[in-house]
Amino acid sequence: MDRTESTPVFLHAELLPNIRQITLYISVPISSDTTEESSLHLDPKITLSASRRAITVSFPGLSEDSAETIKLPARVSDTSRRMLDVAKPRGQLVGNGGLSHEKRMEFSLRMPVDTAEGPLVSREELTDGFVPWTAGDMSPRSEVRCRQCSTVFLSSGAHSSSGGKDTAIPGAKRGWVWKDLPSGNWAEMMDFWHCHKPDPRHSHDHGSDSGDVGIVDDQQSQIKGYGAANQVVAIPGTVLVDVATFLVAEMDCQGLIKVRIDQDPDTSSKLQQHPIECGKCSSIIGTEDPVAQGWRLFKTHISVVTKDEDGSLQWRAYPTETIVAAQLLELVERESARRFVVHCGQGPGLLLWTFNPDLRYSSSGRDRSIAAQRAMKVLFQQISDVDTLLYPETGKATPLALDELRLPTKTYTDLCAALAKTNTMLPMSARLFQDWTVGLLDRFERTNSG
């Protein structure tokens, strides 16, 4: 159901940091036989709060309970109050926008942001600023369970050792070691810093007469971890964390089953990836990673708990779109790409454009939250065959600025549902951009408390 249908007045505000203005959309539902001329009597009453951080809109001629209030993404200037007293926005009839087919009267206006607000765009230098569940968020007592049925897979009471599973000892301080994996471009950075990877077969001294420099460099590469023989592998008792998954040793997991699948004749049996499912509800939890010699648990399919010192439990599961947004942001930073083919395998998918990776907005139609939200604004199109874009036929132009994001099937399905939901949340005039459909993906925002 479109959230805007259940409230007479719908408000939506977006912060435009580059021009330091806030765009406010106001819309009310009208009957299908209403003409634009007959709807001109709708005159919104707009009231700015004393702090200039919230705004209330009502239509006195519509109904007594037509007032709606939202908190603005930033404080507006005092001139906005005077502007609202003098100028009244002119409405227009809109309908059949995006994925909805209702008809509404819509008003829009812009208000300047207070100059005392300071910088409006955050400059995040660290990737984990938008990534849920980094190693720093965890503790030795953190646990992981199935999001569907709450079966615990990683228990803090005990972890595996070389001989198998340890038995929990009452009062013993046991638990997991959590480590963040390096970003996806760490190898390229090493190549940049050191003309090329160390190779013991020849000298890297570029002019030195010593023939042992290559061997010394290779020894340094093994020590520092960027040598050719080094690769990420699962370690018993340790959980390795990246943007979208937890990499764990198979022997550390309880209640998980590796699903046997038909062998792909084009893939070596040692590199075949088997799905990992919950032994109780059969939900797909992750996948086998033969190269890393472990199992990858999808963050979108699990929930995590941390035990406080008083023994209380706090379980948390982040929305699918928040984790996918973190993956997209990481690719934007690493690959400088803005357009992606998002899919869950061969066949249909999404062509997705990260139009604005950091958006502040408020909406009265988003779960009735009056607080400002942080999100990505994305434009998307449904595509019937992803291979036609990823692997164009000979002679056809190749999309150079196009990256790929492959998701688990359920994650992809949930992402499509979330995009469709946020599209109906937007004002009708903002649901389409040329031949693109507009959607929002909520971003994770780290607080001081972690």
Q: Give pLDDT tens digits for 25-55.
A: 998 887 665 555 555 567 888 999 999 999 9
Q: Are 365 and 301 in contact (CB under 8 A)?
A: no
The per-residue pLDDT for 164 is 41
The per-residue pLDDT for 85 is 81
Buried-exposed string 279-298: b where 16+ CB fall within 10 A, e elsewhere? eeeeebbbbbbeebebbbbb
Nearest of 138, 143, 146, 178 to residue 158 by alpha carbon: 143
| CA–CA gap between residue 338 and residue 328 (Å, rounded) | 9
Q: Are 113 and 76 in contact (CB under 8 A)?
A: yes
* 361 pLDDT higher than 80: yes
Task: List, for residues 386-444, the tens digit of each pLDDT value.
Answer: 888 888 877 776 666 789 999 999 999 999 999 999 998 898 889 999 999 999 999 99
| CA–CA gap between residue 230 and residue 253 (Å, rounded) | 25
Q: 355 or 105: which carries more pLDDT confidence?
A: 355
Q: Are 252 and 236 in contact (CB under 8 A)?
A: yes
Q: In the predicted model, what is the mean pLDDT of residues 324-328?
A: 96
Question: Between the CA atoms of 224, 226, 228 and 231, what dihedral angle is there, to the nearest 10 degrees?
Answer: 100
Q: Where are the domains of the chain?
A: 3-117, 133-180+233-316, 320-442
Q: In the predicted model, what is the mean pLDDT of residues 181-209?
A: 55
The per-residue pLDDT for 116 is 83
In this prediction the pTM is 0.81
Return the CATH number of 133-180+233-316, one of 2.30.30, 2.170.150, 3.30.1490, 1.20.1250.
2.170.150
Nearest of 179, 113, 104, 110 to residue 140 by alpha carbon: 179
Instruction: Give the range with max mean pLDDT: 17-31, 364-378, 430-444.
Output: 430-444
Q: How many CA atoms lie within 13 A of 161 on its CB side?
A: 6
The per-residue pLDDT for 215 is 44
| CA–CA gap between residue 356 and residue 440 (Å, rounded) | 10
Q: In the predicted model, what is the mean pLDDT of residues 242-258?
A: 94
Q: What is the mean pLDDT of the chain?
A: 79
The per-residue pLDDT for 126 is 45
- Find how far residue 352's CA is from the centre of its chain: 13
Q: Categorize the per-residue pLDDT at 193 as very low, low, confident or very high, splitting at 50, 70 and 90.
A: low
Q: 299 or 62: which carries more pLDDT confidence?
A: 299
The per-residue pLDDT for 4 is 43
Q: Categorize the per-residue pLDDT at 352 as very low, low, confident or very high, splitting at 50, 70 and 90.
A: very high
The per-residue pLDDT for 31 is 66
Percentage of the chain beyond pLDDT 90 is: 42
Q: Are 354 and 330 in contact (CB under 8 A)?
A: no
Pairing of strands 103-112, 21-29: antiparallel
The per-residue pLDDT for 133 is 92
Q: How many CA atoms lie within 13 A of 332 on its CB side?
A: 20
The per-residue pLDDT for 175 is 80
Task: Find the largest Cα–Cα distance for the chain.
Answer: 90
Write down the CATH number for the domain with range 3-117: 2.60.40
* 163 pLDDT higher than 50: no
| 155-162 long-range contacts, CB within 8 A, separation 24+ | 155/254, 156/307, 159/236, 159/237, 159/252, 160/236, 160/237, 160/249, 160/251, 160/252, 161/236, 161/237, 162/236
